[in-house]
């Protein structure tokens, strides 16, 4: 599959391809299937890694506060603040956003977008309030999926809520960006859930769907974009050098 078949400009592709960075105790890590007991630490300093992504030509960064997600409050805001202050990357920030104060901390620390999952699934009235205070354009709804049901609380709890209904309900409230992660694929380098994304985009043609989990090659990235995904998050494959940055940047430079 060739990039020109996707009929996207290089500027659009630069917005779509999003490197990920998970932070725990101030270090870059990756988890397998969201399991805190199956983490791998990387020596890279988060600031250095962010600068490397910016220097390579990326314009976005997906930053996850794993400590915050576990403790249910934003904790790694200083890392967010440093990255936002030292780069021009647009940062999608996730993890620990459970109260209005967390929203304020993340925004004041430099987040461009806030990725919300647990609160959106468990406390829809709170989410509705945040949307009314700020703007639906500010939020990315995290649809973390186990067997096509939404999972929350660090992916440990299956809500039984179908992902299709979750997306549909929030799209009616003005949310247009949805980050969908198949937990069984995350960190496993076994390929994305192409069928799931195709099904969701067929049902919800107007949403901006961001794919996450399982990306292992440039071909996977191209196929997801060709499918209609407006964002592709790449984490472990970059840190394990299964995908080289130079091969990705050839798509948009």
pLDDT at 137 (0 to 100): 96
Tokens matching residue 218: 């440039």
pLDDT at 113 (0 to 100): 98
Active site residue 144: yes
Q: Please state, as a whole number, how many other Cβ atoms lie within 10 Å of the Cβ of residue 99.
A: 15
CATH label of the domain that carries residue 95: 3.20.20.70
CA gap 242, 40 in Å, rounded:
15
Options 65, 67, 102, 144, the catalytic residue: 144
As averages over each run of 10 residues, the pLDDT of the chain (253 residues) reads 61 94 84 59 82 95 93 95 97 96 98 95 95 96 89 71 94 97 73 93 96 92 95 90 92 86
pLDDT at 75 (0 to 100): 96
Could you tell me the residue range of the domain that residue 41 belongs to?
3-249
Active site residue 65: no
Of residues 77, 73, 71, 70, the one with CA closest to residue 93: 77
Q: Please state, as a whole number, how many other Cβ atoms lie within 10 Å of the Cβ of residue 151.
A: 24
Domain count, the chain: 1
């Amino acid at each position: 599959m060739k990039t020109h078949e996707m009929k996207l400009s290089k500027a659009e592709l630069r917005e779509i391809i999003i490197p990920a960075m998970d932070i725990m105790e101030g270090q870059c890590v990756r988890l397998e299937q969201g399991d805190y007991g199956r983490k791998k630490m990387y020596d890279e300093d988060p600031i250095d890694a962010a600068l490397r992504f910016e220097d390579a030509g990326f314009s976005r960064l997906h930053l996850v506060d794993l400590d915050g997600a576990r403790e249910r409050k934003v904790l790694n805001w200083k890392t967010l603040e440093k990255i936002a202050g030292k780069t021009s990357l647009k940062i999608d920030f996730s993890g620990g956003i459970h109260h209005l104060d967390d929203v304020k901390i993340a925004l004041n620390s430099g987040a461009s977008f806030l990725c919300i999952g647990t609160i959106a699934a468990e406390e829809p009235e709170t989410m509705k309030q945040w949307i009314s205070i700020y703007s639906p354009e500010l939020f990315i709804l995290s649809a973390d999926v186990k067997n096509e049901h939404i999972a929350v609380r660090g992916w440990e709890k299956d809500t039984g809520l179908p992902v299709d209904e979750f997306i549909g309900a929030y799209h009616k409230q003005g949310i247009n960006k949805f980050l969908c992660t198949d937990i069984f694929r995350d960190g496993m380098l076994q390929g994305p859930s192409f069928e799931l994304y195709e099904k969701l985009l067929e049902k919800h043609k107007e949403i901006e769907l961001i794919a996450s989990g399982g990306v292992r090659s440039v071909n996977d990235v191209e196929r997801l974009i060709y499918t209609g995904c407006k964002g592709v998050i790449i984490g472990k494959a970059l840190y394990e050098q299964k995908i080289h940055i130079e091969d990705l940047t050839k798509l948009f430079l």
